[in-house]
Structure formats: C-alpha cells, structure tokens
A and B are shown apart, each in its own frame.
Chain A
Amino acid sequence: MASKLDARIPAGPLKDKWDLYKNSIKLVNPANKRKHTVLVVGTGLAGGSAAAALGELGYNVKAFCIQDSARRAHSIAAQGGINAAKNYPNDGDTIWRLFYDTIKGGDYRAREANVYRLAQVANNIIDQCVAQGVPFAREYGGLLDNRSFGGAQVSRTFYARGQTGQQLLLGAYQAMMRQVSAGTVTMFPRTEMLDLVVIDGRARGIITRDLVTGKIERHLGDAVLLATGGYGNVYYLSTNAKNSNVTAAWRCHRRGAYFSNPCFTQIHPTCIPVSGDYQSKLTLMSESLRNDGRVWVPKKPGDTRHPSQIPEGERDYFLERRYPSFGNLVPRDVASRNAKYVCDEGRGVGETQLAVYLDFADSIRRLGRNKIEERYGNLFEMYERITGENPYEVPMRIYPAVHYTMGGLWVDYGLQSTIPGLFVLGEANFSDHGANRLGASALMQGLADGYFVIPYSLGDYLGGTRIEAASTDHDAFEAAETDARQRIGKLLSVKGSRTVTEFHRDLGRIMWDHVGMSRTKDGLEQAVDAIAALRDEFWQNVLVPGEPTTYNKNLEFAGRIADFLELGELMARDALMREESCGGHFREEFQTEDGEAVRNDRDFTFVSAWEFTGDPRTSVLHKETLEFENVKLSTRSYA
C-alpha cells in the first residue's frame, strides 16, 4: 500500500533534481505524438497552458471545460500578481529565496523538490507570458515593474493592474486557441466530467455530460490531465466562482486517486462581508489595502454607533495591539483569525456584526486623498459599487472568506496521481503550497505545471508505458456511464422539499463554523456527524427541478453538492487527525498562550493521503513523510 505513495523524487542535489529528471525521462518521438490522445479537463491556467503546450508538441489534445468558453475559468479572477525570482530590482532575490519563502510560507508542509522546481521554472513563465503579449505593468524605461507581496522581503511580483490572473489566463487561452486553429487541440466547452474511466489500472477515459443537451459521452485517451481547480465552494460562501467545484477530482478520488491534505484551506482576510442570506458569493479585495488601512472594532461589545461617533479611545486596533511589530500586515491566517475572535466577542460591526473596520482616515490625513486614490482607486470604486458606501468617508467593513485550497489530489514529482495515467495540475493537486499559500504563487504554480512540468512528465509516462489499444465500448466505460446516468436519474427522482442551494448553504455553515478559521476536536467531531446526516437527508429530500436533457443549472449543482457533502466530511476528518496548528489549519488546542499556532513537527511532518473505500466514513489514511534536507524547520513569528 505505502508503495503507492512513492513521490519518485529524483536523486541528487536539490538544485539539480529537475535537470536530472529531464535528462533521464523517456521521450515520445515527434511522429508518434499525434497518435496519443490526451484528455485535459479544466482550462484555467494549469489546464489551458497544458493543452497549449501539449498541442504545440503535436499531441492530440481534447480539452474540456464547464464554462461556455475556456477563457472564463476562475483563474481569471486572480488580482494581485505572479512571483518569479528574476531579481530585476536587484534586491537580492534568488531562486533559493523564492523556494525558501514558499516552503516557509507553507509552514513546512510541502515537498522541497516540487517547490524548488516551481521556483526554478517561474522565470521561464514570465518570459513565456511576455512573449505571448501579456501586458504586464512597466516602468517608464519600458522594462517590467515589480511589486512586493506578503511573506517576502523582496519585490518579485509581476502584475497587470489588478487583473493579473485575467491576463495570464487569456495568454494561455490564446495559446490554446492557436492550437485549436492548428488542429491539435479540440475544445469541448460547456462539458462537465462526471467520472473517470480506469482500464487495467490506468486512467483511460472520462464520462462527460454536455451541459446544453444533457448528452452523456465517452472519451477515450492515453492519459487524463485533471486541472479542475480547488474546492473552496464546499463552504458555500467563498471567493470562488459559482461553478468551481470538486466533482471531477472527487470522482477520481472515488476511482482510486488519493486525496491529500484536504483540511488545508486558505482564508483571505480582506473580503467584502456578507450582507444577508441571499448572498451568493464573496468578493475579495487585494490585501495590499492593509498597507494603508488600520483594522479596528469598538472596544465595547454590541456598540452600534456609527464609526465616526466612536471616539479614538473607544476603538480597539486589535492587530496593532497584539502584533506591535507587524501590526496590520500580519499574514493572512493571523489577520483572519483575529477578526473572527473579535466578532465572536460580539464586537463585530455592520448589520450582521460579522465584519471589522478597515479605516483609511489616518492615511488620507497623512498622504492626502489623491495619494490613496492613486494607490487603491479601483478597489475603493469596487467596494462602493458593491456596498454603496464611500470608503473615503466611512471605514470599509471587511471580513475573512475562503479563498484557496492547498489540499488536493496526491501527485508524485511528475504530477501523476496514485492512478497511473491520471495527472493532476494546479490548484487541484496538493503539491506546492503546503499548509498555506503565499500571495502571487497560485498563478505561478498553475502555469509552471501546465507549460513546463507536464510536457516532460507526460512524455515520460507515454514514452515509457505500453498503452493497450482500447475502445469506448470497453466494460469500464459502460459501467462508468451507467453510474453517471443512474446518479443523475436519482438526483432528479428524489423530488424532495429542499432545494440544492439550501443544502449547499447548510453544508457551508457547518464547514465555516467547525472546519473554518479555527477548529477544535469537539467542533470537528460534530461536523463529521452533521455532514453525514446532511448527506443522508440530501439523498432523501433534495428537490432538483427540470429535465436531464436540457441546460439545467440546478442539476449540475446537485451533482456537485452531492460530492461536496462527501468531501466536507473528509476535510473534517483530516482536520481532526492533524493534531497541530499549521498554516491555514488552526486547532485551538494547539496554540501558545499568546494564541500563536503550534506546529508538531515530530508527529505531523507528513502529507496525508486519503484512500476512498466506498464511504467517506471509512476512508483510509496513508502518509507521505516529508524530508527536509535543505531547509531547517523553524517557527513562524510575526509578533
């Protein structure tokens, strides 16, 4: 069993591993590439770049996405930027430092070799994107501009206004459309993967549903690449797009792919707070706002006075008070947790009392309104558009929201899951961010996996594996399609009394309360039971309207919520198992007197990898022990 978790990290010094790997892999000769069909599921940064790069190499690529166009994947919403150790500002950046910051930022729960490779190829990403015409910000001299981001002491973040994700995604999308035009990539938009087909132990195909006609289809391939993003929507409210979901990954998990570190989720501190029950999603605002905004709440619980009526002496600038040296700039998890604590004390502000103030009054006095407008004008505008309040005059109200999930399907160094032939890229895998992701690293990982890693490791697999001829008539296809059809039939036939959204909202509440920013043994145990009970209720009482043969968003969502209801339990179990606090995972039992996270390196320096056994209740834990040969484990401190 444990042998399944061979990470296959190449031997040799850290900095040479990737080169040694590339030197030793099998290759597929150019004439043979077009004979290999590769199924790419998801067309965000990871999937789009992979489809483009593989198409360029001559593989026969089929790319699937649930959106109506590949250009809409949720990577598009990333605002801040993308890291690379180009060291253009000459401020001492190196590949080693980018590697080290990422490992440390992840609270020492990521694989050294993967992270180092990420830091190495990051420079190529910037080159590639510029060559594609991505309009990164520039200085007057015409060269690229960099800005600084949390968790680093150098400026290494490349950005395109507040729309970096959009521009990088469009770059990948355009590269992919070039291959569509060349005939190497075939696009299947509005198509959802419902199951993975495994033949003779290898991933050989997928079952899909056409989201317009409801048609169930079989697709055969020599390998399946999963780039389907994260599972933050298990919380119902998150900054993820409404269609982001875990279904494709979860279906693979059910077919034998191990799921790693599901409890590692990232909560972003500066989001626009919830305004009511109808709320459908949360909107993030760049954390750069914390550079000039001061976070506070009233000292007195239940103080409903207008913020301007609360005198200075009755305000609690709680981050500045607790963390005098970092103040408002503490890392994301610390800022988020503290906001939750003050709201738990009844000191939250706004109608729902689930918000804290982010006040720019001092900065406006010190720097002038123009300067603040120059720095944050578009963010202020967005805030006003959503809330109807003018943040130049009234302090912003912010609250943390689920933003990114570090966990995902387990993969080896070559991004291959525990099912041979199934590769997992980007946020859908667990590999590079450990227990916490640094800002501007998600884009980096997605593109690294797609442009620069998978073209090699997939070639190694296809070149070194004898893939038997098969057809979509194979029993495994038949069985998987029948499963998918039955599931859809079952969802529609329950005809209960509660809507899909109601179940999703209930699940979200359990997850947020017990598997959110701050977790306890009791709470997690309650969550495990509550989720299991909700899951049972779902299958007996869900009300899915409409037909299986038309565009039917509720039906799509129903299948996804059903999978979230299983994943949620696994997340709670993983969080329960991990008796330490690290990164985005904070167990209240494991903290210092000052409320700082206490990691347990002796017992928990491993990646959890859960094996599905037929029921989330009985999932089996496997462990991949993390070896740190190059960095020394130390405790984060921001006080």
Chain B
Amino acid sequence: MSHSMRIHLKVWRQAGPNAPGRFESYTVENANEHMSFLELLDVLNEQLIKEGKEPVEFDHDCREGICGSCGVVVDGVAHGPQPRTAVCQLHMRHYKSGDTITVEPWRAKAFPAIRDLVVDRSAFDRIMAAGGYVSVSTGNAPDANAIPISKVDADLAMDYASCIGCGACVAACPNASASLFTAAKISHLAKLPQGSPERKMRVRNMVEQMRKEGFGDCSNHAECEAVCPKGISISAIALMRREYLKAATS
C-alpha cells in the first residue's frame, strides 16, 4: 500500500543565464512512494502554479531513462543515489517522509545555466560534430554482412554506444571533465571496422573540441562511471588515450 509522504525540497532557482541563483525551500505534503523524482517536481510545480508562483524549470522528456534530457544533482550526486538510474527513474520509495532533498543543476562552465535546473549541453553536440560519426553517405553501404565483426567487439561497441548524452559524467566529475562522454563515442567506433580509415582524425578532433569547450581534464576519479545511468566503464577513457597516442605518434 502506498503511504503519503512529506518531502522538503531545497531547489536551486535562477531566473536566467546571468541572473544570480539561490536556494528556495518547499514542502510537498502529498508525495507518494511510487512517484518518480520528476513526478515529485511535477506535483511541486502544480502547487506553485496554483499559488501564483513560477514553477521550477527542468529538462525532461522520455522519462524512461533513455533520452538523456533530464539530469539534476540530488543531494550532491548526479541523478541521485540509485546506481545506474537516471533521475526520471529514481523513485520516492528510496526516501522517507520528512526527508529534505537538495536539488541543483549540472554545474560546469561548458554547460551554461539557462534557468533553474536547466543547462545548455550543446557542447556535446559540437564534440560529436567534430568527428563522432562514420563518413558514409546514404546509399554507399555494402551489404550489412559483408564485414563480420566478432561478437565480443560488437558487444563492447554496444556497451560504449549506450551513452545517452545526459552529461552526468561532467556534472559529477570533480574536474567537470567530459572525458567519459567523448571517450564513449570514440571507443564505440574504435571497436568496429567501419570508420577505421578516419579514426586518427576522429580522436584528434574530438579531443581538441572537448578541450575548446572548456571542460576540465580527467584525473581518473572514476566518479563519471559511478553516476553514469548506463554504467559506461572508464575503460573507454583508457581506450581513447590509446587511440590518441596511436594518432599522435604516426
């Protein structure tokens, strides 16, 4: 049976990109253990609108952990306390009535603030545009089975490819580094024969773009792997470095 819960929230409010931010405290009286965390924010927002206040803005879309739209820091952890779970699938049963939860946006220079909990992650798109693809124009493809790929490599490629681009890795990294995001794409493509001719250019350009965007350097804290909703391993970062060295030494 579901129990009504009282949840206190300390939420970061910021009117716009250059406006000063601050924490506001709210209480949701009729929370419920089956709710997702975003549904808790929905309920809060309905309450705020009725009170004539402005609702808390946050990005969200699929609410099933795959689109990567949502992402807030919950009590100091990107996406909250449940491992391998995006915040849209964090459920209130992990809390108890009376708890106070602090909610902050992703914080990084490369992710400028937009409003409240919403930030601009377009830096990720620019990193992808720098080389995160295989240059094959439509209609140029050989038969899909023309090149066999070992199942082990295909599975590993899939592990890396499962990145949802949410930015939690950056948010959680003490250095605000985007290494896991960048490395996941490089590693996905490095494991496959497709796109191999351009692999050196890819790793060079993507790493350079990552730097230009103002992300920090990696210090191997591995915090990114711990908060990644898809559990992408930092072995991707190691692979990216090997790829880079191969590119740099030839």
Contact partner of A142 among B129, B148, B195, CB < 8 A?
A: B148
Name the distance in Å between B133's Cβ and chain A's nearest Cβ.
Answer: 4
Name the distance in Å between B153's Cβ and chain A's nearest Cβ.
Answer: 9
Nearest B-chain residue to A272, judged by Cβ: B64
Most chain B CB within a 10 A radius of its CB, from A160, A276, A278, A388: A278
Contacts of B82 in A (CB 8 A): 385
User: Does A589 count as interface, using CB distance less than 8 angstroms?
Assistant: no
Contacts of B48 in A (CB 8 A): 545
User: Does A77 count as interface, using CB distance less than 8 angstroms?
Assistant: yes
Q: Size class of B's contact patch?
A: 35 or more
Asked if B141 and A133 sit within 8 Å, CB to CB, the answer is: no
Asked if B46 and A551 sit within 8 Å, CB to CB, the answer is: no
Q: Which stretch, A7-15, A27-35, A68-76, A96-104, touches the partner chain B?
A: A68-76
Asked if B91 and A278 sit within 8 Å, CB to CB, the answer is: no
Q: Which stretch, A166-174, A258-266, A516-524, A602-610, touches the partner chain B?
A: A166-174
Asked if A139 and B132 sit within 8 Å, CB to CB, the answer is: no
Q: Interface digits, A243-276 against B, CB 8 Å rule (1 contact, 0 not)?
A: 1000000000000000000000000000000011
Name the distance in Å between B85's Cβ and chain A's nearest Cβ.
Answer: 6
Q: Interface digits, A11-31 against B, CB 8 Å rule (1 contact, 0 not)?
A: 000000000000000000000
Nearest A-chain residue to B68, judged by Cβ: A72
Nearest B-chain residue to A175, judged by Cβ: B133
Known contacts A124-B139, A177-B133, A189-B122, A72 near B67 by CB under 8 Å: yes
Q: Interface digits, A96-129 against B, CB 8 Å rule (1 contact, 0 not)?
A: 0000000000000000000000000000101111
Contacts of A388 in B (CB 8 A): 33-34, 91, 93
Contacts of B148 in A (CB 8 A): 138, 141-143
Roughly how many angstroms separate A276 CA and B43 CA in the complex, as a whole number?
A: 12
Asked if B59 and A136 sit within 8 Å, CB to CB, the answer is: no
Q: Interface digits, A539-557 against B, CB 8 Å rule (1 contact, 0 not)?
A: 0000101100011111000
Q: Which stretch, B96-104, B113-121, B240-248, touches the partner chain A?
A: B113-121
Contact partner of B62 among A77, A126, A170, CB < 8 A?
A: A77
Q: Interface digits, B139-154 against A, CB 8 Å rule (1 contact, 0 not)?
A: 1111111011111001
Name the distance in Å between B43's Cβ and chain A's nearest Cβ.
Answer: 5
Q: Which stretch, B50-58, B73-81, B169-177, B217-225, touches the partner chain A?
A: B50-58
Known contacts A142-B150, A499-B50, A241 near B34 by CB under 8 Å: no
Roughly how many angstroms separate A193 CA and B144 CA in the complex, as a whole number?
A: 37
Nearest A-chain residue to B31, judged by Cβ: A278
Nearest A-chain residue to B53, judged by Cβ: A545
Contacts of A180 in B (CB 8 A): 125, 129
Contacts of A49 in B (CB 8 A): 138
Q: Interface digits, B147-172 against A, CB 8 Å rule (1 contact, 0 not)?
A: 11111001101100110110000000
Asked if B91 and A132 sit within 8 Å, CB to CB, the answer is: no
Roughly how many angstroms separate A187 CA and B129 CA in the complex, as a whole number?
A: 11
Contacts of B32 in A (CB 8 A): 275-276, 278
Contacts of B151 in A (CB 8 A): 138-140, 142
User: Does A53 count as interface, using CB distance less than 8 angstroms?
Assistant: yes
Asked if B122 and A276 sit within 8 Å, CB to CB, the answer is: no
Nearest B-chain residue to A167, judged by Cβ: B161
Known contacts A126-B144, A133-B194, A170-B161, A545 near B129 by CB under 8 Å: no
Contacts of B60 in A (CB 8 A): 242
Asked if B61 and A135 sit within 8 Å, CB to CB, the answer is: no
Contacts of B114 in A (CB 8 A): 212, 551
Asked if B144 and A127 sit within 8 Å, CB to CB, the answer is: yes
Q: Interface digits, B180-215 against A, CB 8 Å rule (1 contact, 0 not)?
A: 000000001100101100000000000000000000
Roughly how many angstroms separate A128 CA and B149 CA in the complex, as a whole number?
A: 16
Name the distance in Å between B184's Cβ and chain A's nearest Cβ.
Answer: 11
User: Does A317 count as interface, using CB distance less than 8 angstroms?
Assistant: no
User: Does B15 count as interface, using CB distance less than 8 angstroms?
Assistant: yes
Asked if B121 and A135 sit within 8 Å, CB to CB, the answer is: no
Asked if B138 and A53 sit within 8 Å, CB to CB, the answer is: yes
List B residues 33-49 near A (Cβ within 8 Å): 33-36, 38-39, 42-43, 45-46, 48-49
Asked if B154 and A135 sit within 8 Å, CB to CB, the answer is: yes
Roughly how many angstroms separate A385 CA and B229 CA in the complex, as a whole number?
A: 13
Roughly how many angstroms separate A139 CA and B151 CA in the complex, as a whole number?
A: 6
Nearest A-chain residue to B58, judged by Cβ: A553
List A residues 471-485 near B (Cβ within 8 Å): none
Known contacts A135-B158, A385-B89, A543-B49, A280 near B69 by CB under 8 Å: no
User: Does A351 count as interface, using CB distance less than 8 angstroms?
Assistant: yes
Asked if A554 and B36 sit within 8 Å, CB to CB, the answer is: no
Contacts of B194 in A (CB 8 A): 130-133
Roughly how many angstroms separate A543 CA and B48 CA in the complex, as a whole number?
A: 12
Contacts of A166 in B (CB 8 A): 66, 162, 164
Name the distance in Å between B172's Cβ and chain A's nearest Cβ.
Answer: 19
Asked if A241 and B61 sit within 8 Å, CB to CB, the answer is: yes
User: Does A283 count as interface, using CB distance less than 8 angstroms?
Assistant: yes
Known contacts A132-B194, A142-B149, A388-B93, A74 near B62 by CB under 8 Å: yes
Contact partner of B35 among A76, A167, A177, A278, CB < 8 A?
A: A278
Nearest B-chain residue to A78, judged by Cβ: B66
Asked if A181 and B158 sit within 8 Å, CB to CB, the answer is: no
Roughly how many angstroms separate A388 CA and B189 CA in the complex, as a whole number?
A: 36
User: Does A451 count as interface, using CB distance less than 8 angstroms?
Assistant: yes
Name the distance in Å between B73's Cβ and chain A's nearest Cβ.
Answer: 17
Contacts of A551 in B (CB 8 A): 57, 114-115, 118
Asked if A128 and B139 sit within 8 Å, CB to CB, the answer is: yes
User: Does B21 count as interface, using CB distance less than 8 angstroms?
Assistant: no
User: Does A150 count as interface, using CB distance less than 8 angstroms?
Assistant: no
User: Does A467 count as interface, using CB distance less than 8 angstroms?
Assistant: no
Contacts of A385 in B (CB 8 A): 82, 85, 89, 91
Contact partner of A135 among B2, B46, B67, B192, CB < 8 A?
A: B192
Contact partner of A281 among B54, B63, B134, CB < 8 A?
A: B63
Roughly how many angstroms separate A394 CA and B224 CA in the complex, as a whole number?
A: 34
Name the distance in Å between B164's Cβ and chain A's nearest Cβ.
Answer: 8
Contact partner of A67 among B42, B61, B155, CB < 8 A?
A: B61
User: Does A161 count as interface, using CB distance less than 8 angstroms?
Assistant: yes
Roughly how many angstroms separate A278 CA and B2 CA in the complex, as a whole number?
A: 13
User: Does A534 count as interface, using CB distance less than 8 angstroms?
Assistant: no
Name the distance in Å between B224's Cβ and chain A's nearest Cβ.
Answer: 18
Roughly how many angstroms separate A283 CA and B66 CA in the complex, as a whole number?
A: 11
Known contacts A88-B145, A138-B154, A160-B158, A72 near B138 by CB under 8 Å: no
Contacts of B91 in A (CB 8 A): 385-386, 388
User: Does A144 count as interface, using CB distance less than 8 angstroms?
Assistant: yes
Roughly how many angstroms separate A388 CA and B125 CA in the complex, as a whole number?
A: 35
User: Does A279 count as interface, using CB distance less than 8 angstroms?
Assistant: yes
User: Does A286 count as interface, using CB distance less than 8 angstroms?
Assistant: no
Asked if A181 and B125 sit within 8 Å, CB to CB, the answer is: no
Contacts of A178 in B (CB 8 A): 129, 133, 135
Roughly how many angstroms separate A279 CA and B141 CA in the complex, as a whole number?
A: 44
Nearest B-chain residue to A279, judged by Cβ: B39
Nearest B-chain residue to A54, judged by Cβ: B138
User: Does A501 count as interface, using CB distance less than 8 angstroms?
Assistant: yes
Roughly how many angstroms separate A131 CA and B147 CA in the complex, as a whole number?
A: 9
Asked if A550 and B192 sit within 8 Å, CB to CB, the answer is: no
Asked if B124 and A69 sit within 8 Å, CB to CB, the answer is: yes
User: Does A392 count as interface, using CB distance less than 8 angstroms?
Assistant: no
Asked if A553 and B55 sit within 8 Å, CB to CB, the answer is: yes
Asked if A69 and B121 sit within 8 Å, CB to CB, the answer is: yes
Roughly how many angstroms separate A468 CA and B7 CA in the complex, as a whole number?
A: 61
**A-B contacts, 21 listed (Cβ < 8 Å):** A53-B138, A68-B122, A72-B62, A74-B62, A76-B62, A131-B141, A132-B133, A133-B188, A135-B155, A142-B150, A143-B145, A143-B148, A212-B120, A276-B34, A281-B63, A385-B82, A385-B85, A455-B138, A499-B49, A550-B15, A554-B49
Q: A160-B161, A174-B134, A242-B63 known; 10 other A-B pairs, CB under 8 Å?
A: A76-B66, A128-B139, A132-B134, A132-B136, A133-B134, A137-B158, A144-B145, A241-B62, A280-B39, A499-B49
User: Closest 8 CB pairs between A and B?
Assistant: A142-B148, A174-B133, A131-B141, A127-B141, A275-B34, A135-B158, A130-B144, A135-B157
